[in-house]
Chain A
Amino acid sequence: AQKVTQAQTEISVVEKEDVTLDCVYETRDTTYYLFWYKQPPSGELVFLIRRNSFDEQNEISGRYSWNFQKSTSSFNFTITASQVVDSAVYFCALSEAGFNKFYFGSGTKLNVKP
């Protein structure tokens, strides 16, 4: 069965600190997709990244970076030099091949204080 675990319920950092959000997943599928979404207080899900199971290259986008390691079934997300606007709930999600269902982690609430 598919499962996504985000062990960190809430993290508080001071602006400009780096922060890593952890995500561990379980699946028996060989083809799957991993996602990160940001959910600000307004509620909408903001897409951040998608990774397929065959692409283990790490990715950097501005202050954001992602580390995908199949050996440990992890897909961690790092924000460098955090800003107050980064405060939100972040969800890691797993999707089957064909994108039939999304399995969401429980989310990590990030508080960035000035």
Chain B
Amino acid sequence: GAVVSQHPSRVICKSGTSVKIECRSLDFQATTMFWYRQFPKKSLMLMATSNEGSKATYEQGVEKDKFLINHASLTLSTLTVTSAHPEDSSFYICSARRRDTEAFFGQGTRLTVV
């Protein structure tokens, strides 16, 4: 299967700072990337969908100014959690999709805001 790499795998940041998470498709060009959030012991919830070169589409209830998504190239999408607070602590997972094929998931990033 295709490889999707997420970085960092774990990050701890101070409240009020911003943190960037990268999602890279290593061996294919991802026309679409997705960002999911998983609360402890909960399921994965789609946050947003991004297509290369265009603005991300956010799911209802997700603050677009809080979670900035950039899909600048066919192999890289970034999620920036701005002015992070402890309630933003969560597990974030990206997935990447080639045109008309299934999506592949990254390893996830565990964010802890202290």
What is the chain B residue whose CB lies nearest that of A106?
B43
CB of B34 to closest CB in A, whole Å: 7
What is the chain B residue whose CB lies nearest that of A43?
B108
Report whether B110 and A100 are in contact in the complex, using a CB–CB cutoff of 8 Å: no
What is the chain A residue whose CB lies nearest that of B91?
A43
Report whether A99 and B102 are in contact in the complex, using a CB–CB cutoff of 8 Å: yes
What is the chain B residue whose CB lies nearest that of A37?
B105
Which of A37, A47, A99 lies in contact with B101, CB distance below 8 A?
A99
Report whether A101 and B46 are in contact in the complex, using a CB–CB cutoff of 8 Å: yes
Known: A43-B91, A44-B107, A44-B108. A98 touches B100 (CB 8 A): yes
Please classify how large the interface on chain B is, using the bins under 10, 10 to 19, 20 to 34, 35 or more.
Answer: 20 to 34
Which of B42, B45, B102, B105 lies in contact with A45, CB distance below 8 A?
B105
- A32 in the interface (beta carbon within 8 A): no
Please, how many angstroms separate the alpha-carbon atoms of A101 and B60 in the complex? Answer: 14
Report whether A99 and B103 are in contact in the complex, using a CB–CB cutoff of 8 Å: yes
Collect the chain B residues with CB atoms within 8 Å of residue A91's CB: 43-44
Which residues of A line the B interface, CB within 8 A? 33, 37, 42-45, 47, 50, 91, 95, 98-102, 104-107, 109
Which residues of B line the A interface, CB within 8 A? 1, 32, 34, 36, 41-46, 49, 91, 93, 95, 97, 100-108, 110
